A and B are shown apart, each in its own frame.
Chain A
Amino acid sequence: MLLSLTIDLAPDEIGAEGFRHFSDRLRAIDAIAPDLVIFGGERDTALIPGRLEGLVNLPWAAGLVTSAAVVAVLPALHGIPFHVARALSAIDFVSAGRAGWAPVCANHEVIDRAYGQQYAISDAEAPAKHDDFLRATQALWDSWDQDALIIDKASGEYLDSAKVRRVDYRGPYFSTMGSLNAARPPQGYPLLVRDMNDLSADSELPADVVLLGAETITEAEDAIVRLRAAPGTANAAILLKVTAGRSLDLPFEVEGADGMHLIGHPDAATVAAARARLPARTQPGDTARARFGMAPPINPFTQKALV
């Protein structure tokens, strides 16, 4: 069983003292060694982008949260694939393959207003744009083969030109030519997290980790059967959401759950209590994908998946 949680900056964690408090909180969580830490906010039980911008926070946070996979919640309907692909490549390098992303549609009405009127979109249309955003971003990662870099000083060969390409992705919402000006991330694709409380829940694209909110054992087990039957999530790690302060029992009672995701601003004591019931099964140094049992993604341009 895997242990995961959401962390957001608390409203009072500002100023020099608040910053120290936030840093100490991350160190305390790190000492408990959860498997996954998602940096983002919550609305009801759904993930939303947090008060720290996900991609800029993550490299700093990865210096304090040193063993878990670290995940940024991103606004899928507002992000720009080229920037996101490039940043996640760099983050995956500087976190030694521990990076992940959770592109969400939740809270888009609020974010639409801040990005401008051309971003306004209906809930009905949002999932299609979410999927296009994911495809465009992944296509840019595919513009480099995993083994493109050579870096041989003596011969002067830096990379193999035949292993970098323009992908010329054209989707209904996003177009991007590539090549990306960043190498394919060490994991191939960073760990992809999907929230079943999001508008993107019905996406058929593959996800590596699924967060599932359920009130009862039956509800959870029915949902897991459906997820296992869908090609995109058949192999995903399914983590049941548990709100801090409530019983931690549900994930242990549900057939087929892979772990627990703590929401509701869990403090270190809550995370430690959960860890006590979920012995760590992974090793520090594992990449995020390895930790969640995900094979390296296949690059469609080469049909190869090298690590």
Chain B
Amino acid sequence: MSRANGRLHLWAFLQGIGFFPGGWRHAAATPEAVFDRAYYERIGRMVEKARFDAIVFGDQLQGRDAAGRTPGRLAIPTLDPFTLLSAMAGVTEHVGLVATVSTTYNEPAEVAAKFATLDYVSQGRAGWNIVTTAHPNSPLNFGETELLEKSQRYKRAAAFVEAAEVFWGSACGKKIDRAALKSDWFEIDDTLDFVAPPQGRPVLVQAGQSGDGRDFAARTAEAIFCPAPTMEAGKAYRDDMRARASALGRDPDGIKIMPGLALVIGGTEAEAKARHAEVLELADDVLAVEYLSESIGYDLTQHPIDKPFPIEEIVARCEFPAEGVRAQLMPAVEAGTAIKDFCQAYARKPRGHGIFVGTPEQMADHMETWIDAGACDGFTLQPGFMPFELEVFCDEVVPLLQQRDLLRTDYQGPMLRDHLGLGPLA
């Protein structure tokens, strides 16, 4: 079965309108469509036909505003992930549906009920990308003033997942482990009567990077979404996670490592490079300044953007931790770089993920090389902008991957666990 399932796993990470902040402006982008059901239905069917394991939606628990000013040139964040995946469930039969949900500002009972419901309406295709929340504005949306310190966030996450497991077990008729409902974080007395998830529980996905994050992922995750800017970085990460899993007595093949990969594909290399350049150009100066403003929690648009950063004013008032912001901006301050120039460079390579620019053949080569090197088990694709780049990938790269026996030509079972080659739950 593992052979028929392919050596290469594909996930589609659909962040709003796509990977590049200016991508929504491209002539082939459809930014209004992200508000329509038909768009999600079409994307779901397309990804299923291309035999992806799953669709993943990211999440944030705050608006995009920096100090209260919402950017005027950046697209709205992804709509609620559960909603989009639930709508897609109705028009697909195989593709997995992975929602990113934070353990920091939620309750286990509610999250367990939501995933049981998503697993039911999709008949066994739900996955949970378990994240913790570190954005300084998020606590203020949930009646808190301070973020949880990082190791505390991961402790809460572990207790949260343990409690959620009890809810799912109970829904499936297992005896309730009441001790697991009590922790430093939760004082839960009983489970809820909700529908049994067909998979027993959602597939557990993680995105841990730090020591705490990797440790949590090694214990919990069945798939990991991570940045891997180079093949060497990918291999080092995968080797580390497999070693951690083995040390914990887990089968390392039970964790699929799925680095993010943004893509711009063209009929020729020159065409791909031209479109990459075109999409970067669409991020004009003000857009780029808004993009950095969001990531430091300070509205830079109030300053002349062709002048250097007023660093002391920024670190005195930014919503992100001042020392981190100072460290990020100091090289530009010392070099006297104009705000807009620094922001342009920042907006060109978002979020530390690899970016592939080339032909379908080159992309298939790239993927095969990484798989052969043991640098990953597949890729979490981040189309440059939607839906165009994803359509090109499905039409032109997927057949090549199938010809090379890397990607399955048919699903080997109905559930997300089947696509990942995970056996049934114990």
Contact = CB atoms under 8 A, between A and B. Distances in A.
Interface of A: 9, 14-16, 19, 51-53, 55-64, 78-80, 82-83, 86-87, 89-91, 93-96, 110-111, 113-118, 143, 149-151, 153, 156-161, 164-166, 174-183
Given A156-B73, A158-B24, A161-B72, A87 B82 contact: yes
Main secondary structure of the interface of A (DSSP, over half): mixed
B86 A56 contact: yes
Most A Cβ at <10 Å: residue of B83, B89, B106: B83
Contacts of A153: 24-27, 29, 31
A80 B25 CA distance: 34
17 contacts: A9-B120, A52-B195, A56-B83, A56-B117, A60-B89, A63-B90, A80-B110, A83-B106, A89-B79, A113-B188, A114-B109, A153-B29, A156-B73, A158-B71, A176-B141, A177-B141, A181-B76
Interface string B183-195: 0001111111111
Interface in B73-106: 73-77, 79-80, 82-84, 86-87, 89-91, 105-106
B189 A177 contact: no
Contact of A60 (B64, B69, B86, B107): B86
A195 B196 CA distance: 28
Interface in B25-42: 25-27, 29, 31-32, 35-37, 40
B72 A60 contact: no
Given A56-B118, A90-B80, A182-B76, 15 more contacts: A19-B120, A56-B114, A60-B121, A82-B61, A95-B37, A114-B191, A116-B109, A143-B63, A153-B27, A159-B72, A161-B69, A179-B65, A181-B60, A181-B62, A183-B35
B236 interface: no
B142 interface: yes
B67 to A, nearest CB: 9
Contacts of B195: 9, 14, 51-52
A110 B82 CA distance: 25
Contacts of B89: 60
Interface in B4-41: 22, 24-27, 29, 31-32, 35-37, 40
A59 to B, nearest CB: 4
B337 interface: no
A63 to B, nearest CB: 4
A288 to B, nearest CB: 15
B143 interface: yes
Q: Which of B26, B87, B190 has the most CB of A within 10 A?
A: B87
A90 B109 contact: no
Contacts of A180: 63
A14 B29 CA distance: 40
A78 B111 CA distance: 12
B287 to A, nearest CB: 6
Contact of B189 (A14, A83, A113): A113
B249 interface: no
A183 B78 CA distance: 11
A149 B75 CA distance: 9
A116 B31 contact: no
Contacts of A62: 37, 87
Interface of B: 22, 24-27, 29, 31-32, 35-37, 40, 60-65, 68-77, 79-80, 82-84, 86-87, 89-91, 105-107, 109-110, 113-114, 116-118, 120-121, 123, 137, 140-143, 167, 186-196, 198, 282, 284, 286-287
Contacts of B167: 114
B77 A181 contact: yes
A51 B193 contact: yes
Given A156-B284, A159-B70, A164 B117 contact: no
Contacts of B80: 86-87, 89-91, 182
A110 B190 CA distance: 8
A273 B143 CA distance: 48
A8 to B, nearest CB: 10
A39 B356 CA distance: 45
Q: Which 3 A-B residue pairs are closest in the complex by CB-CB distance?
A: A179-B63, A90-B83, A63-B90
Contact of B137 (A114, A149, A177): A177
Contacts of B91: 63
A59 B87 contact: yes
B123 A16 contact: yes
Contact of A115 (B60, B70, B83, B107): B107
Contacts of A60: 86-87, 89-90, 121
Contacts of A160: 72
Contacts of A114: 109, 167, 188-192
Contacts of B194: 51-53
Nearest to B63: A179
A149 B71 CA distance: 11
A77 to B, nearest CB: 12
Contacts of A143: 63
A111 B87 CA distance: 27
B65 A164 contact: yes
A143 B116 CA distance: 31
Contacts of A117: 187, 189
B68 A116 contact: no
A57 B137 CA distance: 29
B192 A111 contact: yes
Nearest to B123: A19
Given A78-B110, A113-B189, A156-B25, A57 B79 contact: no
Most buried by A among B63, B84, B90: B63
A116 B188 contact: yes
A15 to B, nearest CB: 8
B32 A113 contact: no
Nearest to A50: B194
B387 to A, nearest CB: 15
A79 B72 CA distance: 31
Residue among B32, B36, B80 with max Cβ neighbours from chain A (10 Å): B80
B143 A158 contact: no
Nearest to B65: A179
